[in-house]
Amino acid sequence: MASSCCRTWHLLLAIFLLSSAAYGQLSPSFYATSCPLLELTVRATMVTALLAERRMGASLLRLHFHDCFVQGCDGSILLDDVGTSFTGEKTAFPNVNSVRGYDVIDRIKSAVELLCPGVVSCADIVALAARDGTFLLGGPSWTVPLGRRDSTTASLAEANADLPGPTLNLDQLIRAFDKKQLTPRDLTALSGAHTIGFSQCQFFRDHIYNGTNIDPAFAALRRQTCPAAAPAGDANLAPLDAQTQLVFDNAYYRNLVAQRGLLHSDQQLFNGGSQDALVRQYGTNPALFAADFVAAMIKMGNIAPLTGTNGQIRRNCRVVNS
């Protein structure tokens, strides 16, 4: 009996340690008692949002990425500028007139506050919305570790410095992800988020006019709606994945093999470098891509979260509690 109890205790301890290693201080069951209808509420609002505009799934996935790469996954990207007293991250070059979905986060937060006032962080809502946006567009689902708290600060400088830009080469991309404790494999898997969504002409103009590693027919197609001379057409949109622009699949990687990556930084993943073999694998093995994407999303979602008594639970995602 004692031996059996000891074995059971050791098994439970091993499971706890494995869970802690994967999730850090976060837990998928964090709101199980305090807000049991949280995930159903997020999902319902996301379904409504995507019925109105399917592209919003990609936008909210990107919002999570842009949140986590600046100060960690703390909801700092959601904070509005307040006169001269507070500067947020929304006007950073990678975010301004580009990052979308703030209004959907507001709607989710309002619905959650009616059920569980003062309990659920905006940072956790962003993480759940990113997961649901992926799933509702045909991608994988995953259990989201929860328990993040919201920052009372933001960093315009860090947003400008740390968010990887579309002109980076492979070495620069690897360094940018390594700075966030993400591996080259994580980089290549997370880049698969570009299987959905759109980019503005200003971000791919140089690649389609001056790139040497782009399919000529694809470049010609994109030039039709992206004039060579800026600022004409700067905000014109093109799908990151021309094949299945609003379906989360592995077509992005097949595009790269065919030199049909929209952004210079995309095509860098398949350009005679260290990620070529993995890109080929993802292009032919959707299950492998899905598994690696989920693992990388969970890992990214665990970048420097505020937990315990750090930060706060904002009442309004756009402003720090007064």
Binding-site annotation, residues for heme b? 194
Kindly tell me the burial class for residue 1, based on how many C-beta atoms sit within 10 Å of its own C-beta (0-12, 13-18, 19 or more). Answer: exposed
Q: Specify whether 151 is located in the same domain as 44.
A: yes
For position 25, what pLDDT does the model report? 87
Q: Specify whether 283 is located in the same domain as 239.
A: yes
Is 176 part of any domain?
no
Q: Specify whether 127 is located in the same domain as 208.
A: no
pLDDT tens, residue by residue, 146-195: 999 999 999 999 999 999 999 999 999 999 999 999 999 999 999 999 99
Range of the domain at 57: 37-162
Binding-site annotation, residues? 67, 70, 72, 74, 76, 89, 164, 194-195, 241, 244, 249
Chain centroid, CA 78 distance in Å = 14
- Cα→Cα distances 262→37, 38, 103, 182, 244, Å: 40, 37, 27, 23, 14
For position 251, what pLDDT does the model report? 98
CATH of the domain at 192: 1.10.420.10
Catalytic residue among 64, 66, 207, 264: 66
Write out the two tokens for 22: 């994967």
Binding-site annotation, residues for Ca(2+)? 67, 70, 72, 74, 76, 89, 195, 241, 244, 249
For position 23, what pLDDT does the model report? 53
Catalytic site includes residue 64:
no
Write out the two tokens for 218: 């694809």
CATH of the domain at 49: 1.10.520.10
CB distance 267 to 213 below 8 Å: yes
